[in-house]
Amino acid sequence: MDGVLPGKTSAQFPDSTRPSEQPIVVIKLAMRSNHPLGVLHRHMRVVGKMFDRMMDELDNNSDHYEYLGANRYIANERATSNEIMILAYFRSYEGLHKFSHAPDGAHREAWNYWNKEIMGKGKTEEGRMFGINHEVFQAPAQRWESIYANYHPSGLGAATFKVAVDGKDKWANPLVDASRGLLRTSQGRMAVTAGDENEVYGEDPYVNGNDKI
C-alpha cells in the first residue's frame, strides 16, 4: 500500500477553472525483440539505456519540451516479456516534436542507432527480428479525463506541473479530489455535464464519506 492514495482522484491542470481545461499530447514509444535472445540481445540493452537517457533529457528540460511526465512498462503479452515501452505526456505537439527532432538529443541518437546499427546496409536480416513503434494522441481541451480509485500516482497522475507561488516557480502534482461535483463522472470530467448522471446507478461509495482522500 506504499504510495497509494485512498479515495477517488482525478488529474487536472493546476489553477484550472473547469475540468480538462487545456489540451494534452500523449506518446507511446516501444521496442520489441523477436530474437531468440529476447531482451538479452545487445540491441535491446543499448536501446534500453537510450530510453534512460531520453527520460533524463526530458526531466532536465521539461520546460523547453513542455514535458509533463512519463511511465515505463515491460509488456507481459508473451512469457518472455520482450517489449519495452514509454508512455509520456506533453502540453503540446510542438514540444513533443522539438524533443523528437533535437539534433543532439537522446531520441535522435536512438533513431540513428536503429537506422544504422539495426536496419543498416547488410544488417536487415537480423534487424527484422526487432520492431519499434510509436503512437501519438493529441486531445483537445474537454476531450480527455482520468480517474484513480485507491491508486498510487501513475500516468498523468504522476506528472508535475510548474506553477507560480508567491512569485516563485514550484512543481505541483495534478491529483485532486474527484468524489464530488463535476469530477464525479466521466462526462463531468470533460465538462459535458454537471457530474450527476451516474446517480441512477445507486450510492457512490466515494461520496458518502467512508473513503475520502
Residue 118: domain span: 24-139
Rounded CA gap, 126 and 60, in Å?
A: 35
Q: Are residues 156 and 101 in the same domain?
A: no
Query: pLDDT of 67-97, one tens digit each?
Result: 999 999 988 877 778 999 999 999 999 999 9
Residues 102 and 191 in one domain: no
Identify whether 196 is part of a domain. Answer: yes
Check which CATH number belongs to the domain holding 60 and give it.
3.30.70.100
For residues 52, 154, 90, 116, the Cα torsion angle rounded to the nearest 10 degrees is 30
Confidence of residue 211 (pLDDT cuts 50, 70, 90): low
Computed over every residue of the chain, the mean pLDDT equals 92
Please determine, for residue 210, whether its predicted confidence score (pLDDT) is greater than 90.
no
Give the number of other CB atoms < 10 A from CB of residue 147.
17
Residues 78, 156, single domain; the answer is no
Q: Say yes or no: 167 and 118 in one domain.
A: no
Does 40 share its domain with 133? yes
Structural contact between residues 30 and 127, judged by C-beta atoms closer than 8 angstroms: no
Q: Is residue 74 part of a domain?
A: yes
- Helix count (H) and strand count (E) of the chain? 6, 9
pLDDT score of 213: 44
| Confidence bin at 10 (pLDDT 50/70/90) | very high
Question: How many structural domains compose the chain?
Answer: 2
